[in-house]
Structure 1
Amino acid sequence: MKSKAVAIVLIISILSCEASRILFMNPTFSKSHTIPLQALAKILASRGHDVTFVSPFKLNENVQNYREIQLEVSAESLKNFDEFSKVMSESNPLGVLTVATKTIFNLGNETLQSTAIRHLMDTEQFDLIVVGWFTNSFLVGLADHFKCPSVVFFSGSLFSMLHQMVGNPLAAADAPHAMSGRKEHSTFYHRLTNFFFYAFDVLVIRNYFNYRSKVVYE
């Protein structure tokens, strides 16, 4: 009787153990933001999950259960990225905001409109979407399309948009903003500077990016 019970439990366990189909969406020009996400995807693939990774950067090795869809970057997006690199070197905050928005959203829109991704959306189904986030919150809309949960992955520091997305209370004076730098011992001046960075983030950057996200999503 005991052996039958063990056999039944074993059969149920085997039948209930199914690999998940996971889609990684990472349309970015940043190789450094892609590497940790590829590492996570490789681990999941090695554990038997069916992984599809969408990115401009290819993984230079063969991994079982790991499929790549390499994005073709248009000449316009490459031009935007060159312009973005230039304004970054000039330390021009307003220029960085304008050009970064154009760069990120053009590439994101190209990704959603590409033949490969449209075919993926029309013919396949996934159990989980992992979005390589860099203010491109509109990509989370893919989870609604596939009717599955989503995970947002960001290897940088905190932005108010991330706090808003996950419903985390915003500690504007305490949590270091991405643009204010990290300090081992925060002085009053640093905490005040951090607060103003968050204020600009909430009042200007978040609303601007939310507007651009809505345009792309619609």
Structure 2
Amino acid sequence: MNVALFITSFLFLRAQCAKILGVFAAPGYSQFILGEVLMTELAKRGHQITVISPYRPKDEPPNYKTILTKEVIGDTNGDDSLWNLESQSLFKNIMSTYDYENGITEKTLQNKEVQELLQSNEHFDLVIVEQFFNDALKGFSAHFKAPLVLFSSMGLTEWNREYMGVPMLPSMNAVSYTQYTNRMTFFQRIRNLYGTIFDYLYRRYFFYPVQRKFLAQYFPSSLDFDKILYNASLMLLNSHVTTSENTLLPYNMVEIGGFHVINKPLDKEIQTFLDGATDGAILFSLGSNLHSSDLSQDTRNAIFQVFAKLKQKILWKFETDLPDKPKNLFIAKWLKQRDILAHPNVKLFITHGGLLSTEEAIFNGVPMVGIPVFADQKMNMARAKSNGVASVVSFSKLSEETLFEAVNETLKNPSYRNNAKRLSSMIKDRPIQPLELAMYWIEYTMRHSGMTFKPSSLYLYWFEMYMVDIACFLLINSLVVFLVIFGLMRICKSKKSDKQKKQ
């Protein structure tokens, strides 16, 4: 009887397990962190996982296979161009991102193991793709005839809402490269309108043709690019109202922001350093793509001068040795940021404003001083500032005076800490934990072989969605009516004039 029960249970579990392909091709290590948490959790649930990525997990489960695409990483760390993005125009930022990610997509598809996978007879029950300027990679879903789940590491953006039928309203949906919130001034709305239109046109007429070429060139089967664009059953968003903004979403777009924040014990040395911070501690990190060691000597000296004035202990992610560092400063090439932020003695986080950093700070109730440089960092910090949890210093205006003023204000004004604690309580207080929610919807998609209930907006052209055709129709009709009335009036006037002449 026990043997029969064991066999039945075994067969049931086998039936519940699936083969899942994850495509997390972006070279940013912070994006891989999100993919790693998502895919390893699926592996823990017994699913057979294959992941295409430039990184592999530190503790790779036995049912988890990595197809390594290290060639996409390049020299993004310490790249001067990343620092220069802070001063580039909105239009240049948009073009640079699309063009750069075209190269990442092609390198991923050129990878020998990726091509071997595409030429194989492999089968997958589901494909999960990080939606990040890589639309040709959605072809994996169509090629393997499996439902498609998209994951957005940046939450809801102007380039991913289109695929799920969410309208982009320039009046309140700020372009990700701006420092705007969704409550914009008149002139901000004008600039945002220009940015929205430019992004749409550049994506459609310059970016899509390249991605369409990749789909035809690197996939062995003939796939329709226009169909795969809108073929996702589900999109998981790395966002939450505390870190993004309140917005309307269709049922198959699910927010799971904060799902990666799983705090673990600190290394003994750092634990001892923080335990001894009786006056509090400050964490300073510019993320995984920017290197603090690439800051100019003048900027570095200005930061040192600020730290020397503070009584708090400071941890700084710095990639080289600093023999002349202040006594209250601890440096390391890599710091376990989310675990450090959980320590009760950490009073402030000086950050570049990446979304993961913002989420981890808010999750742990730590106020921030933001020094945003590129991509969505300005917007993330603008939102954090509007929520009263951050002060912001423009990188181009970073100096001893501006940094000390921001640090001093954020540390001494209790409202920042109180607001951070309030948002921390909100992001934690959820009916179901975000990672569990993600697992439910992923497995729901597999149970139902994808979801076909798509919003009607996906079946409308842009001019139909925004009723431009109706506006033109009414305008033309009004013009015709005006011309008819005007013509009749002229005819009547002419007849009256003729009649008066005859008299």
Higher fraction of helix: 1
- Determine the C-alpha separation between the residues in 2 that align with 1:23 and 1:100: 26
2-structure distance, mates of 1:185, 1:95: 24
Please list the CA deviations of residues 69-101 of structure 1 after superposition, one character each: whole Å capped at 9, or x if unmatched: 211307xx7268847536525525555455434
* Aligned: 1:78 with 2:74: yes
Alignment partner for residue 214 of structure 1, among 193, 212, 215?
212
Aligned-partner Cα distance in 2 for 1:98–1:161: 13
What is the correspondence of 1:88-167 to structure 2 with a 5 Å cutoff?
A: 88=85, 90-91=87-88, 93=90, 95-123=92-120, 124-167=122-165
1:200 is matched with: 198
- How far residue 143 of structure 1 moved from its aligned partner, in angstroms, is 0.9
In our comparison, the structure showing a higher alpha carbon Rg is 2
Measure how far apart 1:144 and its partner are. Answer: 1.0
CA offsets per residue over residues 56-76 of structure 1, 9 Å max, x none?
1121113242221211307xx
| 8 A Cα contact 1:158 1:178, kept in partner | no
State the Cα deviation string for residues 137-179 of structure 1 (Å, max 9, x = none). 1110111110111112121254433122122222222223212
SS in structure 2 of the partner of residue 73 of structure 1: helix
Letter of the 2:70 partner, please give it: E
Once the two structures are superposed, residues 182-205 of structure 1 have per-residue CA deviations (whole angstroms, 9 ceiling, x without a partner) of 427433333333322211111223
Instruction: Report the alpha carbon displacement of residue 113 of structure 1 after superposing the two structures with TM.
Output: 2.3
Given that residues 84 and 99 in structure 1 are in contact (C-alpha distance below 8 angstroms), is that contact kept between their aligned partners in structure 2?
A: no
Q: Which moved more, 1:91-100 or 1:17-26?
A: 91-100
Question: Cα 1:180–1:97, aligned 2, differ >3 Å: closer, same or farther?
Answer: closer
| Greater relative contact order (CA < 8 Å, ≥ 6 in sequence) | 1
Does residue 37 of structure 2 align to residue 39 of structure 1? yes
One-letter amino acid matched to 2:184: S
CA distance in 1, matches of 2:192, 2:155: 13
User: Is this contact kept in 2: 1:33–1:154, CA < 8 A?
Assistant: no
SS in 1 for 2:74: helix
5 Å-filtered alignment, 1:52-63, equals 52-63=50-61
User: Is the CA contact 1:26–1:132 (under 8 Å) kept in the aligned structure 2?
Assistant: yes
Question: SS state of the match for residue 165, structure 1?
Answer: helix
Provide the rounded CA distance (Å) in 1 between the counterparts of 2:153 and 2:124. 24
In the alignment, the residues of structure 2 paired with residue 203 and residue 102 of structure 1 have an alpha-carbon distance, to the nearest angstrom, of: 14
Structure 2 match to 1:3? none
1:78 counterpart SS class = coil
Aligned length: 208
Residues 188 and 172 (structure 1), Cα distance of their counterparts in 2 relative to 1, 3 Å cut: same
Q: Contact between 1:180 and 1:193, CA under 8 Å: does it hold in 2?
A: no
2 CA distance for matches of 1:105 and 1:15?
40
Aligned residue number for residue 48 of structure 1: 46
Matched-pair contact (CA < 8 Å) for 2:24–2:53:
yes
Of 208-217 and 91-100, the range deviating more from structure 2? 91-100
Are residues 54 and 217 of structure 1, via their aligned partners in 2, closer, same or farther at CA, if it must alter by over 3 Å? same
Greater alpha carbon shift after TM alignment, 172-181 vs 44-53: 172-181
Q: Is the 8 A contact 1:80 1:99 kept in 2?
A: no
Q: In 2, Cα distance between the equivalents of 1:15 and 1:36?
A: 27
Instruction: Please report the TM-score for the alignment, with normalisation by the length of structure 1.
Output: 0.80
Percent identity of paired positions between Structure 1 and Structure 2: 24
Q: For 1:160 and 1:43, how far apart are their aligned partners in 2?
A: 29
For the residues of structure 2 that align with 1:64 and 1:97, how far apart are their CA atoms?
Answer: 40
SS at structure 2 position matched to 1:179 = coil
- Conserved in 1, the CA contact under 8 Å of 2:174 and 2:182? no
Provide closer, same or farther for how the CA distance between residues 217 and 19 of structure 1 changes in structure 2, counting only shifts above 3 A.
same
Distance 1:178 1:201 in 2: 11
Rounded to whole Å, the distance in 1 between the matches of 2:87 and 2:146 is 42
CA shift in 2, pair 1:15/1:80, >3 Å: closer
Instruction: Supply the AA of the counterpart residue of 1:112.
Output: L
C-alpha RMSD over aligned residues:
3.0
Of 106-115 and 30-39, deviating more is 106-115
